[in-house]
A = this chain, B = another copy of it.
């Protein structure tokens, strides 16, 4: 097996930066002629997987839209996760989980244990309880060739004050920067020389990196899951400008801008949007 970071590198090299969100929101289900139900979410997810396979390398199911339907929704999600992995796609479960100790460990095991019902390739997590509360999850992921994306700086305007709060260090750092610093220090100790880290970050494409006090480079190279392209306003052709030296490792996530094409036109839309990002010499 190959570590998750290196699998991201290979996926970007082969298919480019696009990641297709799987967001069975009620309004999209209606547009697709599907019921707002677990069965509708399952059908939606399977069709998106089918359209993505061979056209992009990565999918990101949004867990909340399945959780909305309880255990039946989770059963639908299990089918979608399995279909995506069987199709050779890298699967990022966007669940933003975050807790401490054995509780966090149970989340890690739920999503990152090979053979578990909810098995994905990577999980998004939240650092509100401190990066230190997540390091066991990083270790668990790496031990199973899985990945983790830590929320750092997000696109939504309501987040700016909090994520730019200053953490007391020798030189005070913004919270988002400190999350990256602390996580990267951990990554450096467990990532083989020259490899991409299996622990990446969520940084919104509409985030001003300088205003958020973010570092211009991250070592070891960390995959950057970047929502905000498409419907949220960032343009694919601006990827290199927006992310600078971080650009080669950006996973550019689009959901509504692709999904609203509907079931008939989603495949061609994925191809067109994947092409729009071009290449950044991974």
- A positions within 8 Å CB-CB of B: 23, 25, 62, 64-65, 67-75, 77-78, 96-104, 106-107, 109-110, 116-118, 126-133, 151, 154, 156-168, 175, 178-179
Contacts and interface: CB of A to CB of B under 8 A. Distances in A.
Contacts of A23: 103
A130 B162 contact: yes
A20 to B, nearest CB: 16
**Chain A at the B interface: mostly helix, strand, loop or mixed?**
helix
Contacts of A129: 151, 154, 156, 158-159, 162
Nearest to A151: B128
Contacts of A69: 110, 117
A17 to B, nearest CB: 22
Nearest to A152: B128
A103 B28 CA distance: 13
With a 10 A CB-CB cut-off, give which of A98, A129, A132, A162 has the most chain B CB atoms: A162
Given A129-B158, A131-B158, A159-B129, A75 B71 contact: yes
Given A65-B103, A67-B106, 14 more contacts: A70-B116, A73-B110, A126-B128, A127-B128, A128-B159, A130-B159, A131-B158, A132-B156, A132-B158, A161-B178, A162-B167, A162-B178, A164-B168, A165-B165
